[in-house]
Amino acid sequence: MNASHTLSIFAAIRIFMWRTWQNTQNNLFTFCMDAILSPVMMLLIFTYLFGGAIAGSTAAYLQFFLPGVLVLTIIPMTVYSGTTICQDIAKGVYNRFRTMPFWQPASVIGPLLTDGLRYTIAILVAIGTGMLLGFRPEGGIVGATLAVLYIIFFAFSVSWIFSMIGILAKRPETVSGSSMFFVYPLLFASTIFVDSSTMPKWMGTIVNLNPISIAVGTVRGLMGGTANLSDVLFGIGLCLLLIVIFAPLTIRLYLTKPNR
């Protein structure tokens, strides 16, 4: 691969990153609902409505719950990766892309990279709100920073799954509907809201195997200063596994999909 070809790859990715960000700016209301209002409402409702009953005090529950809120906020946002691709295919934009002389995988990779900025904004809003309510990351600034980076990486790995669904689906509504059918059971059957030690043993085992629980445990450990190297590596390994499986499959499906 020569230097000019490499440059053209990065240029193509940059163009699609910019295109995705422009689309985000054109849909600011939806973005604000997902990235700002959603995490704030989640924190307020669960901390002050259920926190005392679950943890004995709202302050203690906030320390436990906020890392889970970060994952709870970001995962539904990854579904938009699939709906965006599906919209391009349904509107015929995909057909026009296929006739253009650029590195074709850029039209998938570029939007996924831009989504990282959306995730970052949502995470910072949630952390900022939590700190106003009294949350303090016991892992310090280093632990909090590593936790934020991990959540973004986890969201990036999960977004490949929904991108694949977006390529296979015929309508964007199908992507959002079918994805949420699987997402919400995984979110609620996880350690986001309560610790698995409070559950029956059989259920706790299932919940601990949930990828969402693995991600939440990694974030909670980093922010709380209790993470050990093996847990962090296990969490990173989960992300890498998802990327290794779904990224090549998604790109292959995208490149070989017949024109509509």
142 C-beta neighbours (distance < 10 Å), count: 11
Q: Does 6 have pLDDT greater than 60?
A: no
The pLDDT tens digits for 236-258 are 999 999 999 999 999 999 888 77
Q: Are 213 and 196 in contact (CB under 8 A)?
A: yes
Interval 182-197: pLDDT, tens = 888 899 999 999 999 8
Would the pLDDT of 66 be above 90?
Answer: yes
pLDDT digits (tens, 9 = 90+) for 14-43: 888 888 888 777 777 777 777 788 888 888
Please tell me the pTM assigned to this model. Answer: 0.90
Cα dihedral: 36, 73, 16, 163 (round 10): -150
* Distance between CA atoms of residues 124 and 39, nearest Å: 10
What is the number of other CB atoms lying within 10 angstroms of the CB of residue 5? 9
